[in-house]
Structure 1
Amino acid sequence: MKKKYLSLTLALVIALAMALTGCGNSSSSKSDDSSKTLVFGRGADTTSLDPAVVTDGESFRVTQNIFDTLVAYDYKNQTTEVKPSLATSWKISSDGKTYTFNLRKGVKFSDGTAFNADAVVYNFERWMNGKKSGKFAYFPSMFGGYKGDASLVIKSVTAPNANTVVFTLKRSSAPFLKNLAMSPFAISSPTAIKKYGDKYGANSGVGTGPFVFKNWKKNNTITLVKNKHYWKKGLPKLDSIVFKVIPDNSSRLNALKNGEIDIMDGLNPSDINGLKSDKDLHVYYRPPMNVAYLGFNVTMKPFDNKKVRQALNMAVDKEAINKAFYNGQAQPATNPMPPVLLGFDKSIKDYPFDLKAAKKLLAEAGYPHGFTTTLYTMSNPRDYMPQPAKTAEALQANFAKIGVKVKIENVEWSSYITKLQKGGAPMYLMGWIGDNGDPDNFLYTLLDKDSAGSNNLSFYKSEPLHKVLIAAQTETNDAKRVALYEKAQKIIHEDAPWVPLEYAKAALVGKSTISGFAPSPTGSEPLEDVTIK
């Protein structure tokens, strides 16, 4: 009896000690010795788990880890060079109009159904036939339109056998391969899409990726768990990921320091220097491929007048915005695409910051006493714009000096995108993180007439620009493409549908115990290689 009593007492003491140890561990990265969980702090929630219907980075951050695309970017080396993924190899015809992909065998979706050529065809047919619903915003932005539109670059997608898919194009398309690697063109389970119908993406997403969706607490957390049947052997290294919403940048940093999260984006530029000496934290920089901008809805008065748009360009002090809200670490923008991309036109001189000239131009446009309007901005910080509300206030103050009275409307992120796509904002703050490293993804996607109402939130339509951008898409010679993109940027600069604001140097910070994390230039990275001690 005594031996049994002592054994029981010892067991209770050990159990109590273990419990106390657990309570004293503030780190969120481990639920027990064998389970590894990464908590990723971010500024806004996902809008959908269906990558085909979203346009925002917060959604792609999650879907990137649930789904795979036919081809993928070289994420380990932080480039947008294309490499095999669900397709192991491909051949391109001599005229550039036929792409034949050999698919990876033995891959299954997380619902247990087979990935094959028919699944690929099903997904593309779904997107190509989406004109009536209009919900696949990225598809027309990258491929020219929907089925029935003369502008659609894809003629057909066919499956000669279970392991082969053939894309036949109406014309050659220089960015076609890079487009296929983009997050919105990840392959979903046809069975899951049919099962959930219009609700697919609202509370589920079924792909072939390294992680599987577990649960979603709106405006709080999304939890993914390890896909034990992932086709890449030995991956993922984490058991689960929790994406946690903390809207304020400073609060998110405090959560990291307190051990509530393991890594975060949206680091205030002013906080960076103070973290570099902290041995427990590591600062990462995302390869620069972004632009922040002030957009005008050119279908609304007075923004249908080019002189008004040019005048407002002259009333923006980009250097002051850089110093105040980017800690001087951004680069004032001149063009609607960043300098790292092919064809960036260095010869274009920015509109000068000149309030007197701006006021004169407004008078020439018929507004000698200015006008009253509304500026919409997102309530959540973005990599390209760490302090959108304060940026809006700075613009408001400058515009007031030329007689333009601005009311500011702050809108929550998921509602903000919808508001802009419906054309409800006369002026708006926005930005873009490149999806594929090609200039087409900025100029055509954001400013071509084919993209109006999807990613072209200014509803700007220029026939001369359209002709140049289609020619640039079709051309495969880089030198000739450069000349075309330089011409396109000159047209855009003159028409001024935007005020390009800044090219941001986005920073993230995480615990020094994290390994395998490499920020992607596209703004969303697979976390399959990441682990945490």
Structure 2
Amino acid sequence: MKITQLTLAATLVVAALGGNAANAATTLVYCSEASPAGFDPSQYTSGTDFDASAETVFNRLTQFERGGTTVIPGLATGWDVSPDGLTYTFHLRNGVKFHTTDYFTPTRDFNADDVVFTFQRLLDPNNPFRKAYPSESPYFSDMGLNTNIKSVSKVDEHTVSFALNQVDAAFVQNLAMSFASIQSAEYADKLLKEGKAQNINEEPIGTGPFVFKRYQKDAQIRYVANKAYWKPEDVKIDNLIFSITTDASVRLQKLKAGECQVSGYPRPADISLMQADPNLTVMQQPGFNLGFLAYNVTHKPLDQLKVRQALDMAIDKPAIVKAVYQGAGQLAQNALPPNQWSFDPSIKDAPYDPVKARELLKEAGVAPGTEISLWAMTVQRASNPNARMSAQMIQQDWAKVGIKANIVSYEWGEYIKRAKAGEHDAMIYGWTGDNGDPDNWLGVLYSCAAVNGSNFAKWCDSAYDKLIQQAKVSPDQAQRTKLYQQAQRILKDQVPITPIANSVVFQPMRKEVRDFKISPFGLTAFYGVSLAPTK
């Protein structure tokens, strides 16, 4: 038999796990698209980071049902809400074990102290752990939770109370999101005493279905099953490996060769090849996502509305959708996907008009040959499967109206870090909703509170902000819809972004994978997943 490089790699994986062919059936390899920036979910906003930590190592007080948007109990078995909507009392699950690893052995079960530590660290800049390991919590802040949570208090060992400054209609959903993953207060105290607080982001300890073992950047992440998991029916594989494979064509090759059982973010051009392979299954569903271009309004000349309008109408978006998404996307005209409640279907794009674009640039005093940077992601996303190609097409469109765009790319973690610092002029980005609520789009991506987080346009409009804040505190969905639709019109008129496409999500895997669910939030989770024996 000819031993190929790929076959040898698969053999080494089995050998490294100390298994034989039978044992290998309980090892699932996921060909992931990028290296995570770290393993503390509170510090990040990217699905790459959440998949590697929140969906494996950690749990939250509440969680979303697998493959759905319904909130169900997690580490909390239930919760009560005060009549005024300002106090939430969570009743915690008994007998939940934190992970035992070669770097930490817990002496007690999960309790209220862990919840209080987790949120106090996020809320209080003077928290001792945060002083020892300075870190930001961008998602927590982008959603305004840092100012809306008045206090988190321990009622007893298995009861915790949250007091809010104002009503938050999506508070329970928010606590099911990755950034709200519960940390071990005992582990944090150990790290603090040892002067190793930063290890919380390198050697994670959680209560989740998989236990972290080892990470080799740009190569692999290894996990083992949590045999003491509080929901044992969700742990059906013994070993989980993230094989970090940035090239989509290599991911396809490894999937077809059986070197990984699940692969992330396929290229649209490869879907038909996967569907024709008798050993593969390709799941699909309408995406809850948006691929878009953000304009940094703090940079000249993008601070001028006429310039943003010109750049927007100079882009031939239908051509991008056709070439980049190849039948797996539809033209986006709004900042929300059509399947998000409160979406306003009356909002329409300005027509593609390079002649008018040139006129607007001239009126704005922008000389032909003006240069701006155009950032393109180096990772594939359902919201944009080929950002580089998108950038090249936008570059050509802008050249026709006298703008010279210089394409810039970085490794994924660096891309996000630099973008949050506002180094870009314009950048290609994508978003998949994280909790089913409109605020997860209109607040997290475009609010004043998110300017230092995921608001990569750095756009802050007081009228817009007032509307989304009013919507967030209203318990009436019809009223919230009305307010959010008014906000969508302001957003469209001010052009901080150019929406490009909403895509279909495809998830390829081997036939032996059982009970995998596509997350509407763009996450990749393996709890509840099993492997059928291979023949």
Distance 1:376 1:271 in 2: 25
Distance 1:24 1:484 in 2: 55
1:69 corresponds to 2:73: no
2:497 aligned partner: 498
- Cα deviation, 1:88-146, whole Å, max 9, x if unaligned, reads 011111211111111101112114342111110111000011488451111111234x3
Contact 1:26 1:258 in 2 (8 A): no
State the superposition RMSD in angstroms: 1.9
Please give the secondary structure, in 1, of the residue aligned with 2:396. Answer: helix
Distance 2:377 2:500 in 1: 16
2:4 aligned partner: none
Distance apart, 1:54 and its partner CA = 1.1
2:27 aligned partner: 37
Distance apart, 1:73 and its partner CA = 0.5
Which range is displaced more, 197-206 or 41-50? 197-206
Contact 1:253 1:267 in 2 (8 A): yes
1:166 corresponds to 2:155: no
Of 56, 60, 66 in structure 1, the residue corresponding to residue 46 of structure 2 is 56
Distance apart, 1:286 and its partner CA = 5.0
Classify 1:228/1:406 alpha carbon distance in 2 versus 1 (closer, same or farther; 3 Å).
same
Classify 1:26/1:514 alpha carbon distance in 2 versus 1 (closer, same or farther; 3 Å).
farther
Q: How does 1:77-96 map to 2 (within 5 A)?
A: 78-96=67-85
Classify 1:236/1:305 alpha carbon distance in 2 versus 1 (closer, same or farther; 3 Å).
same
Distance apart, 1:318 and its partner CA = 1.4
- Cα deviation, 1:187-224, whole Å, max 9, x if unaligned, reads 01122233344423442111100000000011110011
Distance 1:392 1:93 in 2: 50
Distance 1:427 1:137 in 2: 21
Distance apart, 1:28 and its partner CA = 6.5
Contact 1:28 1:259 in 2 (8 A): no
Please give the secondary structure, in 1, of the residue aligned with 2:281. Answer: strand
1:105 aligned partner: 94
Classify 1:28/1:323 alpha carbon distance in 2 versus 1 (closer, same or farther; 3 Å).
farther
1:258 aligned partner: 257
- Cα deviation, 1:335-361, whole Å, max 9, x if unaligned, reads 111111110010011121111111111
1:384 aligned partner: 383
2:269 aligned partner: 270
Letter in 2 for 1:70: L
Q: How does 1:178-257 map to 2 (within 5 A)?
A: 178-196=173-191, 197-257=196-256
2:349 aligned partner: 350
Contiguous gaps of at least 5 residues in structure 1: 1-21, 147-151
Classify 1:219/1:300 alpha carbon distance in 2 versus 1 (closer, same or farther; 3 Å).
same
Letter in 1 for 2:63: A
Distance 1:186 1:420 in 2: 25
Q: How does 1:393-408 map to 2 (within 5 A)?
A: 393-408=392-407
- Cα deviation, 1:498-526, whole Å, max 9, x if unaligned, reads 11111111212000010010110111143
Distance apart, 1:425 and its partner CA = 0.6
- Cα deviation, 1:373-422, whole Å, max 9, x if unaligned, reads 11112222222111111111111000000000011111110111100011
Q: How does 1:322-341 map to 2 (within 5 A)?
A: 322-341=321-340
Distance 1:216 1:368 in 2: 50
Please give the secondary structure, in 1, of the residue aligned with 2:259. Answer: coil
Distance 2:252 2:10 in 1: 19
Distance 1:270 1:516 in 2: 26
Please give the secondary structure, in 2, of the residue aligned with 1:234. Answer: helix
Letter in 1 for 2:341: L
Distance apart, 1:72 and its partner CA = 0.5
Letter in 2 for 1:453: N
Distance 2:312 2:45 in 1: 26
Letter in 2 for 1:254: Q
What TM-score do the two structures reach when normalised by structure 2?
0.91
After TM superposition, the runs of 4+ consecutive aligned structure 1 residues lying more than 3 A away are 22-31, 130-134, 194-198
Structure number with larger C-alpha Rg: 1
Please give the secondary structure, in 1, of the residue aligned with 2:167. Answer: coil
Q: How does 1:3-42 map to 2 (within 5 A)?
A: 31-32=19-20, 33-35=22-24, 36-42=26-32
Letter in 1 for 2:96: V
- Cα deviation, 1:213-271, whole Å, max 9, x if unaligned, reads 00001111001111111111333000011111111111110111112211101111122
Distance 2:8 2:496 in 1: 55
What TM-score do the two structures reach when normalised by structure 1?
0.91
Of 97, 102, 114 in structure 2, the residue corresponding to residue 119 of structure 1 is 114
Please give the secondary structure, in 1, of the residue aligned with 2:490. Answer: helix
Which range is displaced more, 128-137 or 330-339? 128-137
Distance 1:311 1:194 in 2: 54
2:103 aligned partner: none
Contiguous gaps of at least 5 residues in structure 2: 1-6, 101-105
1:153 corresponds to 2:142: no
Percent of paired sites with the same residue: 37
